[in-house]
Structure 1
Amino acid sequence: MTLTFLGTSAGKPTSERNVSALGLTLEQESMWYLFDCGEGTQRQIMKSQLSFGRLGTVFITHLHGDHYFGLPGLLATKKLDGITAPLTIYGPQGIRAFLECAMDLSETHLGYRLEIIEYRAGESFLFDRFTLKVLPLVHSKESVAFYIKEHDITDRLNEAKLRALGLEPSPLYGELKRGENVRFEGKELEPSEYMLKPVIGRSLIIAGDNSTPAVLDDYLEDLDLLVHECTYTQAVYDKLVRKVLHTTAMELGEALQSRGVKNLIANHIDPRYNKESPLDVKMIYDEIKHCYEGKLFIAEDFDVYHLDRDCFIEKL
């Protein structure tokens, strides 16, 4: 699977980073998934290798503007580009009223089917390649994480072994995959003898804004990939006059140190960490690594990461 970061800033866009948006693409699927849609996301998509025409589903973590103000523009751009494929949006309660108001007041007639599903924390949704569960987080506004568990592949035949018997691909292959015994040249073949080991599906969490990473609890155990906000280093957060419900690098590292999370991509970086400032994202990296021993990346806009079947992740 491939993750394309379209926006990695916290709160507002900067000259270096746009606000929250992330594209997820799965192998052998023509459509891709968008997680959050901060303002300007449609332009970020245009500058990436992702295609408007292949966007099938959008998931919104919560109703703070830097995570969903880009939706009206994205919907209108899709219409203006003449893309008529349907689109589904999953969001918290209120997302329907927001979009209906924006479309009505602007007299935008989409010309394609738009389905809006308002989820509740704790709900699960079944997709062709994975199950998605909505997990509650701790933030100033109701915010969630999306836990994605890819389906295990359990129906792979050992075709080389079958061909060695002289059995070429045929309807008998389908019967074996369904767990049925078959007869070939007078011999009864049992499915268990001709099946390859299952391929265990990958697991990942894409989290919205959250002040308490540990709230994800058991879902962090042996997780293949966590995408989580890391807005501040602890020293900067401690000096804030007005405290906000966001995660610090120290808190994130401490929450993951005993959980077995294999890979972490941190994003949602406060604008004060930039190339012109004495505060650098390496400070965030170093603070997380003080506790966390897994593989770590601090995402920047247009970073693309690939997570393979063995859960090895690399930046492309």
Structure 2
Amino acid sequence: MLRIIFLGTGGSLPTRNRNPSAVMVNREGELILFDCGEGTQQQMMRAKTGMMSLSSIFVSHFHADHFLGIPGLIQTMSFMGRKEPLMIYGPEGTGEFTELFKALGYFNLKYEVRGIQLKPGDIVEGSEYVIRALKTEHSIPSLGYALVENPRPGRFNRERAIELGIAPGPLFAKLQKGSPVEVNGRFVKPEDVMGALRPGRTVVYSGDTRPCESVLEASRGADVLIHDGSFADEMADWAQESKHSTAGEVAALAKEADVKKLILTHISSRYTDDAEPILTDSKKIFENVIVAEDLMEIEIPYIKE
């Protein structure tokens, strides 16, 4: 399972229908949060995601709309009896901000919260996936992130295995796990009966940024690119000045990177009642695009072979 839940899709200012930035990934039951704006824990309750399986928070940058939800969330999990450590990753200043989160109010956390500063190119190892930190272009130190699953084993050729004298059963499983087996005095290797490795899935989260080369390269062939799409193209000058992106700019990046699906988020409050201009400008260039909405969920399937 690889599910993305959009808990907050608004820009710098919350609106009546968009919370500040927060995107959750549920990978095989492990919850990973990218940014955690104000009100994120309530959105988690509304979406029924749970909290206690949250392993880590990846903060793109320390503008308030991307981190103000962290203090309340970590205290709520402490009230609920959490014991497992929580990792908070982010750019320059992450260690100091994490200590502030822990010290806020007269409250003693009952579990470890650890802040870890990343720089572009750093890799965080997960269970059968990695998260890579990406250089982004915003007005303060910032990062994007690419969640990249490990390659999957190739398909098992049952007929070939039987031809080689292997009886269905435990030896099949041993070969599928990568170990050779002995049959009639000779060894059969996994590569004799297994197809080529199959790619895992890739999800890229830009955070707030101008379109940039590092996000482009990380997004090549990605299953999903979640990108700052703050403005319609008519606001190009302001997007450049404020270090955000327009829908058309992001669509051009997605097209060049050949991503499978583009999802625009961090939608400016000026589009509170109608985000159609953003969608229209993007679709002129890249067809498979969605403007995210709060509590929207999508499943990311494996590529059909």
TM-score, length of structure 1 as denominator length: 0.87
- What does residue 167 of structure 1 align with? 167
Q: 99-108 vs 163-172, which deviates more?
A: 163-172
**One-letter amino acid matched to 1:136:** K
Partner of residue 277 from structure 2, selected from 278, 283, 287:
283
Shift of 1:67: 0.6
Relative distance call for 1:161 and 1:66 in structure 2 (3 A) is: same
- What does residue 309 of structure 1 align with? 302
Contact 1:36 1:60 in 2 (8 A): yes
Shift of 1:282: 1.2
Shift of 1:252: 1.3
- What does residue 257 of structure 2 align with? 259
Q: Aligned equivalents of 2:283 and 2:143: distance in 1?
A: 25
Relative distance call for 1:299 and 1:242 in structure 2 (3 A) is: closer
Relative distance call for 1:192 and 1:101 in structure 2 (3 A) is: closer
- How does 1:74-85 map onto structure 2 within 5 Å? 74-85=73-84
Shift of 1:140: 0.4
Contact 2:58 2:88 in 1 (8 A): yes
Shift of 1:156: 5.5
- What does residue 289 of structure 2 align with? 296
- What does residue 247 of structure 2 align with? 249
- Offset from partner CA, 1:197-248 (integer Å, 9 cap, x none): 422111221111002244523223222210001101121344x599311101
Q: Aligned equivalents of 2:29 and 2:19: distance in 1?
A: 26
Relative distance call for 1:241 and 1:43 in structure 2 (3 A) is: closer
Shift of 1:171: 5.8
Contact 1:232 1:270 in 2 (8 A): yes
Shift of 1:89: 1.2
Q: Aligned equivalents of 1:311 and 1:300: distance in 2?
A: 27
Q: Gaps spanning 5+ residues in structure 2: where?
A: none
- What does residue 137 of structure 1 align with? 136
**How many matched pairs?**
303
Shift of 1:311: 7.3
Contact 1:214 1:255 in 2 (8 A): no
Relative distance call for 1:129 and 1:176 in structure 2 (3 A) is: closer
Q: Aligned equivalents of 2:4 and 2:139: distance in 1?
A: 27
- Offset from partner CA, 1:269-314 (integer Å, 9 cap, x none): 0011022xxxx21110110111124x111100000011100179xx
- What does residue 12 of structure 1 align with? 13
Shift of 1:167: 2.0
Relative distance call for 1:172 and 1:16 in structure 2 (3 A) is: closer
Relative distance call for 1:176 and 1:61 in structure 2 (3 A) is: closer
Relative distance call for 1:42 and 1:309 in structure 2 (3 A) is: same
Q: Aligned equivalents of 2:203 and 2:304: distance in 1?
A: 10
Contact 1:146 1:206 in 2 (8 A): yes
- What does residue 100 of structure 1 align with? 99
1:147 aligns with 2:130: no
Q: Aligned equivalents of 2:174 and 2:155: distance in 1?
A: 10
Q: Aligned equivalents of 1:16 and 1:311: distance in 2?
A: 35
The residue matched to 2:74 in structure 1 has which SS? Answer: helix
Contact 2:154 2:198 in 1 (8 A): no
Contact 2:15 2:272 in 1 (8 A): no
- How does 1:92-131 map onto structure 2 within 5 Å? 92-131=91-130
- What does residue 56 of structure 1 align with? 55
Q: 249-258 vs 123-132, which deviates more?
A: 249-258
- Offset from partner CA, 1:169-194 (integer Å, 9 cap, x none): 326742664352x3235564342232
- Offset from partner CA, 1:103-156 (integer Å, 9 cap, x none): 324132111122221111221222112122111111101111112221001265
Q: 95-104 vs 85-94, which deviates more?
A: 95-104
Shift of 1:100: 1.6
The residue matched to 1:251 in structure 2 has which SS? Answer: helix
Shift of 1:160: 6.5
Q: Aligned equivalents of 1:251 and 1:214: distance in 2?
A: 13
Relative distance call for 1:158 and 1:133 in structure 2 (3 A) is: same
Q: Aligned equivalents of 1:290 and 1:130: distance in 2?
A: 34
Q: 81-90 vs 12-21, which deviates more?
A: 81-90
- Aligned residues with identical type, % of pairs: 29
TM-score, length of structure 2 as denominator length: 0.90
